[in-house]
Amino acid sequence: MAEEIDRLRREIAERESELADLRSQLAVAESEKRETESSAGAERARADWKWPLKEDEYERYSRQMIVPNFGLQGQLRLRAAKVLLVGAGGLGCPAAAYLAGAGVGVLGLIDGDTVEVSNLHRQVAHSTGRVGMTKVESAITYLKELNPSITYNAHQTHLTPQNAASVLSQYDLVLDCTDHPASRYLISDACVLLGKPLVSASAFQASGQLLVLNDPPGGGPCYRCVFPRPPPPESVVGCGEGGIVGPVVGTMGLLQALEAIKLIIRGGLQKEAPPVDGAAAAAAPTPAPAPAPSKNMTMLIFSGMADTMFRTVRIRGRRDDCFACSGREGALTLEQMRSSLDYVQFCGVARPVRLLKPTERVRASEYARVAADRASPHLLIDVREREHFGLSSIPGAVNVPISQLMRARVGDGGASGSGSGLAADAAEAQVAAAPDWMPADLPHSAPIYVVCRVGNDSQVAAQKLKELGLDRNGERFVGDIDGGLRAWREDVDPTLPFI
């Protein structure tokens, strides 16, 4: 049955893509027909047409062309522009929609992922019927319905150091719509080396930020100037763990499109790019462009749940010692980016958490037997945040968010203890104190199990419980469920929603 459902979904997606192509062809044909059959003298009128835009373009784009400082010249610049969106997800979908609607001449999308159901609350260019389709194909299917008169380029792959130059060199402007630091550094480096302005945005939970980088090319700061060092890998939390509010990431994508339109209609694009392919490029790798005058830069901060949602902060300009954009001897080159830079290693890789011994970890099925034995009292602590816990949990679990647990100190028993004093006093306090969330009738020898989403935070929490003395100097078992809620769903209860 599952295979049949997948087959039907794929077939629907293929038919939708074919239908979008047909509608696009129909729209173009109807537009041409209107031009040739609008009157008896249509052919002569068409031959005498002296206006720079087609008749249907005047109708389609009229509402934006009459905006002050936009005008016909702005529309002509949009029609001549080639824009690449790296990422066709929460940022890329709204950005692509408004750039296509505005009439950008060539719109390219690069993404190697496929559409999943969990994408649909925020990635508005995709649909339920296109689950399983590549994101690029799905987005272009949507965009052709919106505006069939522009050119769409599909790059159904992930951007890598090896293909970045060949892809980005085809465009005038780049939008970074990705969600990982390694991608942001790669995109920024490639834009610097190729002389492309970059509009970068990010969104997480209810907040976002927006930057226009390398503007003007070789003058404005790059991503490395603003963030010389990547964040610690353990601090990088994706939407799957931390969550994201759809309109928040949508807002940031719309702002990216707006910044791109501003750059284009004001004539801020550099048309000539240095060569990136061939023996000459390999023999003499392209250096960063010569520095141009820098200008004051700001970062837009968006706080979706705050009363004051928008604010800007000043950021420093281009760094004279920047590895990517300084232009100094030994700075980054295209060949170096292609052959020797490892962006994942530069940003660090969060190593698997291995804090507990194998004897301190129990399988989900093993804990299920413990839970079923009513004669064996125990405590199960779920250390996910309250929002996660409120969506689904193992019956009988007590929610103690890890953020709360990690603030506890030795001697805490509802009031904050100092955690200082002689070792003997500390040990006595450890045994005597009990947190507020600890059941008063829990026997001293009853084991404590900890669970989280996938089995990482639970190990950290179990170690913390031991530091607080809740293992009673080794008399009580304190451990975790190996694999967390994911393992519980796979091995014990497949009906548990796994968020």
What is the average per-residue pLDDT within 337-345? 86
Residue of 373 and 48 predicted with greater confidence: 373
In whole angstroms, what is the distance from residue 267 CA to residue 272 CA? 14
Q: How far apart are CA 125 and CA 131, in angstroms?
A: 12
Domains of the chain by residue range: 56-268+296-347, 358-410+434-492
pLDDT of residue 427: 45
User: How many other β-carbons are positioned within 10 Å of the β-carbon of residue 156?
Assistant: 16
pTM for this predicted structure: 0.75
Most confident of 284-298, 321-335, 419-433: 321-335
Q: What's the pLDDT at 175?
A: 98
State mean pLDDT over 25-47: 60
pLDDT per position as a tens digit, 160-191 = 999 999 999 999 999 999 988 899 999 999 99
Average pLDDT (112-133) is: 93
Q: Which residues of 374-406 are buried (b: 16+ CB within 10 A; e: fewer)?
A: eeeebbbbbbbbeebbeebbbeebebbbbeebe
The span from the CA of 348 to the CA of 410, in Å, is 33
Q: What is the mean pLDDT of residues 5-30?
A: 76
pLDDT at 340 over 70: yes
Mean local confidence (pLDDT), 283-298: 50
Q: Using 50, 70 and 90 to split pLDDT, how confident is the model at 47? A: low
| Binding annotation for ATP | 90, 111, 118-122, 135, 179-180
pLDDT at 296 over 80: no
The string of pLDDT tens digits covering residues 382-430 is 999 998 899 999 999 999 999 898 888 765 554 333 333 434 444 444 4
One fold for 56-268+296-347 and 358-410+434-492:
no
pLDDT of residue 367: 95
Point out the annotated binding site. 90, 111, 118-122, 135, 179-180, 222, 225, 322, 325
pLDDT score at 238: 65
What is the set of active-site residues? Answer: 239, 452
Inform me whether the pLDDT recorded for 42 exceeds 80.
Answer: no
Q: Which residue has the higher pLDDT, 493 or 340?
A: 493
Arithmetic mean of pLDDT, 195-204: 94
Q: Is 479 left (phi over 0), alpha (psi -120 to 50) or beta?
A: beta
pLDDT class of 449 with cuts at 50, 70, 90: very high
Pick the CATH number of 56-268+296-347 from 3.40.50.720, 3.30.2350.10, 1.20.210.10, 3.40.50.261: 3.40.50.720
- What average pLDDT does this structure show over 122-151? 94
Band (236; pLDDT cuts 50, 70, 90): low
Q: Please, which pLDDT band fits residue 6 given cuts at 50, 70 and 90?
A: confident
Q: Domain 358-410+434-492: which topology?
A: Oxidized Rhodanese; domain 1 (3.40.250)
% of the chain surpassing 70 pLDDT: 83
Give 223's pLDDT tier (boundaries 50, 70, 90).
Answer: very high
Known binding-site residues for Zn(2+) equal 222, 225, 322, 325
